[in-house]
Amino acid sequence: MPDLKRTPHNGYHYHLSDEALLKYMQWSIETRLTWLEEANQFLFVALSEENKRIREGLRKGEL
């Protein structure tokens, strides 16, 4: 599980273990892109409009 931390002016960042990064690096580019697309599709359906607004604000560092 990533270690999620807020930053004062840059939204948020998180830390992954070396083990998690090494495992991810073993995935093919196609697998990585498929995982990313599926995660984005899930979030688009699962999040409320309010949560989407908050997520975008966090991403931009506005919240």
Q: How many domains does the chain have?
A: 1
Q: How far apart, in whole angstroms, are the C-alpha atoms of residue 32 and residue 8?
A: 30
* pLDDT above 60 (res 3): no
Residue given tokens 């070396």 in the structure block? 18
Measure CA 54 to chain center: 14
Residues in a beta bridge with 5: 13
Which helix (H) or strand (E) is 3 found in, with range?
strand 3-6
Q: Which pLDDT band, with edges at 50, 70 and 90, does 61 fall under?
A: confident
Q: Which pLDDT band, with edges at 50, 70 and 90, does 16 fall under?
A: confident
Q: What is the domain range of residue 56?
A: 3-60
Q: Read off the pLDDT of residues 39-57 as tens digits, 9 standing for 90 and up.
A: 999 998 999 999 999 988 8
Q: Is 4 exposed, middle or buried (0-12, 13-18, 19+ CB in 10 A)?
A: exposed
